[in-house]
Amino acid sequence: MKKAVCLFLFLLLMTGLASAGQEDPVAKRQAIERLMALTAPSDQLKQVVPAMIQYLAQRLQVPATDKGRTLMPEFEKMITDSMLEVFNGPNGLIAKAASLIDKYYTTEEIEALNQFYSSPIGKKSMAVAAQMSVDMIAIGSQLALDAVPDITIKLFALLKEKGLLADRPNPVPVHMPEPIYPVESSARREHGTLALRVLVNRHGKIDKVTVNRSSGHQRLDQAGIAAVMSWKFLPAVKRGTPVEAWIDISMQFKVFQTDDTTAGSVTIS
């Protein structure tokens, strides 16, 4: 009899412990819903829409005119509606985020997050999160682009050291800052095509720049030459060895009129 009682108490204790280790799915779902309401991904979306509009307008080459600007409200509505559908759809971001929260957090941890995001610092974190992400992506992208030329040159040096350079008849520019269009030139609507011939030595440095054909305007020629002098190159390669070689560069200076200003752009080939 004592053994039976002891066995019953043991089983009762184990059942209680097992129940204590299980989470209430209803309570957890409610905690997740509160967390999603506090973090409000759709509110963050409002912060990134302007950057998306600017990016898409540039990619689609929307003219910077009154007619082009009248499209912006329609652009904004279309992008916002499309992204809200992505966020709020049955298989959207919010549903997937809730599933991941359920997977990786306990109810207790979710409630702790709810307390944090209900606090002033938590609310501020959410208020700036989207714009911080946009800013960090922009900073990271620019840093990566800035690093590419030097990384390319280091890899070239490594290939040279290992005797693995492929022959290449012409130098290759790896860093090509565009000329700054002189303000006076754009105001005077000066334009034209500048043809340069550049001698790049075996170290990838510029030894000489000559003007094959002037743009017809001294200011534009000087701007083009100044820009090229700041370029970085990989040298030409002959039989696995870097050599000096010439490269031809063409710069087309163009002027365009916006609603109230004249601006210039440069196309390099």
Residue type, 49: V
Separation of alpha carbons 52 and 228, rounded Å? 33
pLDDT along the chain (269 residues), means of 10: 52 49 82 84 67 74 75 80 76 83 92 92 85 79 82 88 88 91 90 95 94 95 95 92 95 82 80
**Residue 18: its pLDDT value, please?**
45
- Rounded to 5°, angle at Cα 212 from 209 and 215: 100
Tokens of 129: 């999160």
Question: Of 118, 140, 162, which residue constitutes the final position of a domain?
Answer: 140
Q: Compute φ and ψ for 189, nearest 5 degrees.
A: 60, 35
Q: Are residues 135 and 182 in the same domain?
A: no
Structural domain includes residue 4 = no
Q: Are residues 33 and 123 in the same domain?
A: yes
**Residue 17: its pLDDT value, please?**
45
Q: Which residues pair with 193 in a beta bridge?
A: 252
Separation of alpha carbons 231 and 206, rounded Å? 8
Q: Are residues 196 and 239 in the same domain?
A: yes
Q: How far is CA 94 from CA 42, 45, 91, 127, 187, in A?
A: 9, 12, 8, 18, 51
Structural domain includes residue 162 = no
Q: Are residues 111 and 205 in the same domain?
A: no
Report the predicted TM-score, pTM, of the whole model to 2 decimal places.
0.58
Structural domain includes residue 252 = yes
**Residue 136: its pLDDT value, please?**
82
Q: Are residues 244 and 184 in the same domain?
A: yes
Q: Are residues 37 and 103 in the same domain?
A: yes
Of the candidates 117, 193, 204, 106, the residue with the CA atom closest to the CA atom of residue 155: 204
Q: What count of other Cβ atoms lies within 10 Å of the Cβ of residue 235?
A: 23
**Residue 196: its pLDDT value, please?**
96
Structural domain includes residue 201 = yes
Range of the domain at 244: 172-268
**Residue 19: its pLDDT value, please?**
47
Q: For residue 236, what is the domain's CATH number?
A: 3.30.2420.10
Tokens of 240: 């696995």
Q: Are residues 107 and 190 in the same domain?
A: no
Q: Are residues 96 and 40 in the same domain?
A: yes
Tokens of 223: 């701007």
* Domain count of the fold of the chain: 2
